[in-house]
Amino acid sequence: MLNIVIFGAPGSGKGTQSARIVEKYGLNHISTGDVLRAEIKNGTELGKTAKGYIDNGQLIPDALMIDILASVFDSLKDSKGVIFDGFPRTIAQADALKAMLKERGQEVSVMLDLEVPEDELMTRLIKRGQESGRADDNEETIKKRLVVYHSQTAPLIDWYKKDGTYRHINGLGTMDGIFADICKAIENI
Ligand code: AP5
Question: In b/e form, how buried is each residue of 54-81, taking b as 16+ CB within 10 angstroms?
Answer: beebebbebeebbebbeebbeeeeeeee
ipTM score here?
0.98
Pocket of ligand 1 (CB under 6 A): 8, 10-16, 32-33, 36, 53-54, 57-60, 65, 86-87, 89, 93, 124, 128, 136, 145, 175, 178
Q: Who contacts 14 (Cβ-Cβ below 8 Å, separation ≥6)?
A: 6, 7, 8, 31, 85, 86, 114
Residue type at position 2: L
- Count the domains in the chain: 1
Note the pLDDT of residue 78.
Answer: 77
Q: What is the pLDDT of residue 25?
A: 96
Per-residue DSSP letter, 9? S
Residue 52 is predicted with a pLDDT of 96
Instruction: Look at residue 186 in the predicted model and tell me its pLDDT.
Output: 97
Distance of CA 157 to CAs 49, 91, 164, 184, Å?
28, 10, 11, 20
Centre of ligand 1 to C-alpha 91, Å, is 19
Which of helix, strand or coil describes residue 130? helix
DSSP-assigned beta bridge partners for residue 114: 8, 169
Which atom from ligand 1 is nearest to the alpha carbon of 18? 18
Per-residue pLDDT of the chain (189 residues; tens, 9 = 90+): 999 999 999 999 999 999 999 999 999 999 999 999 999 999 999 999 999 999 999 999 999 999 999 999 999 987 799 999 999 999 999 999 999 999 999 999 999 999 999 999 999 999 999 999 999 999 999 999 999 999 999 999 999 999 999 999 999 999 999 999 999 999 999
pLDDT of residue 77: 82
Q: What is the CATH number of the domain that holds 43?
A: 3.40.50.300
Which residue segment(s) compose the domain that 114 sits in? 4-187
Where b means 16+ CB within 10 Å and e means fewer, 107-123 reads ebbbbbbbebeeeebbe
Amino acid at 125: L
